[in-house]
């Protein structure tokens, strides 16, 4: 395998670079979701909030979703959990298709004390505009998307149209709207 893909900048280094750039593109799509929706004359009832302020340094993008105007951490967590249930590999245990037929997966984690102090999550809670006093009891349900394919960026760099990340964000948005009782 090292003859085919050498362990240097032009071999595995290129695969790692492309995966990181794809994760950053996903991050940007989440950050600018509301602005892009408005540009297309679509009013959104929710927002994506990446956990980290700067773009990711890995191929993992952690984020929360919250309905606009919602100040309840419990309700924000419930929305995230509903989105997760739809995109989890365990979705096949219900009435859904087998996991290998799903186009997208996400995983999740929960920020809670004592691993994450109230101070360490204060910025995220402020951006989400939820009541921080609920954090010690509720924790924060966080969605994680891992961009596994380096070919998203490589395809774009070679002139091949690639809409996989846009399709993923649209699928997330569609599920969120469905949970919120939208179209």
DSSP characters for 126-159? HHHT--GGGHHHH-EEEEEEE---THHHHHHHTT
Residue 39's pLDDT is: 81
Q: How confident is the model at residue 162 (pLDDT cuts 50, 70, 90)?
A: low
What residues form DSSP beta bridges with 140? 111
Q: Is the pLDDT of residue 183 over 60?
A: no
Q: Is the pLDDT of residue 94 over 60?
A: no
Percent of the chain with pLDDT over 90: 49
Residue 182's pLDDT is: 63
pLDDT tens for each residue of 104-159:
889 999 999 999 999 999 999 999 999 999 999 999 999 999 887 777 766 766 66
Ranked by mean pLDDT, the top range of 15-24, 133-142, 159-168 is 133-142
Segment 81-96 shows an average pLDDT of 75
What residue spans of the chain are helical by DSSP H? 12-31, 33-39, 73-87, 118-128, 135-138, 151-157, 164-179
């Amino acid at each position: 395998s090292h003859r085919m893909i050498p362990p240097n900048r032009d071999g595995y280094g290129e695969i790692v670079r492309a995966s990181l750039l794809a994760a950053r593109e996903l991050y940007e799509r989440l950050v600018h979701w509301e602005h892009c929706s408005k540009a297309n004359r679509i009013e959104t009832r929710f927002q994506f909030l990446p956990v980290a302020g700067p773009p990711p340094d890995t191929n993992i993008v952690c984020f929360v979703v919250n309905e606009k105007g919602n100040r309840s951490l419990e309700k924000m967590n419930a929305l995230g959990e509903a989105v997760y249930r739809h995109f989890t590999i365990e979705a096949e245990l219900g009435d859904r298709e087998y996991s290998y037929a799903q186009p997208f997966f996400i995983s999740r984690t929960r920020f809670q004390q004592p691993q994450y102090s109230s101070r360490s999550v204060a910025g995220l809670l402020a951006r989400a505009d939820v009541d921080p006093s609920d954090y010690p009891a509720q924790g924060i349900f966080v969605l994680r998307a891992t961009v596994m394919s380096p070919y998203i960026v490589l395809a774009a760099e070679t002139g091949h149209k690639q809409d996989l990340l846009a399709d993923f964000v649209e699928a997330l948005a569609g599920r969120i709207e469905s949970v919120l009782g939208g179209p």
